[in-house]
Amino acid sequence: MLPCVYVQAVGVAKIKAMSFYNCSRSPAATGCSYEKDFKWKIVKSITIATLPSATLSKCCNACEAHTTCAVFVFDTDKTCTLLSANQGGAKAPGVTSGMPKR
């Protein structure tokens, strides 16, 4: 996490004061962002888990709970695939891809 920086300058190239703060979100963001009719490319090397018979909310919760999950794909057959990265994607009618709000 990058710190927030506050800098106050007086004149040209003279720093009067500088402060660093931990700007973590409070309260922490929860839930997921969704992109309908889009499918992240599923690659075996970045696949964390595949959950059959899932719901969209269970898919979001599973990705949110797994610290290495970056994105997920909720397919038309109700399969949820958790991925540790994204390798691009394409339009896919009926598919919902998402990512946890962190």
Residue 36 covered by a domain: yes
Residue 18 covered by a domain: no
Q: Which domain holds residue 62?
A: 31-100
> Distance between terminal CA atoms of the chain?
11
The CATH number of the domain holding residue 85 is: 3.50.4.10
The total number of structural domains in the chain stands at 1
pLDDT (tens digit per residue) in 38-84: 999 999 999 999 999 999 999 999 999 999 999 999 999 999 999 99
pTM, whole model, 2 decimals?
Answer: 0.72
Angle at 38 between CA 45 and CA 35, to 5 degrees: 105
- In this structure, are residues 33 and 56 in contact, taking their beta carbons and an 8 Å threshold? no
Rounded to whole angstroms, the Cα distance separating 100 from 91 reads: 20
Look at the chain and count its residues: 102
pLDDT tier at 102, thresholds 50, 70, 90:
confident
Residue 23 covered by a domain: no
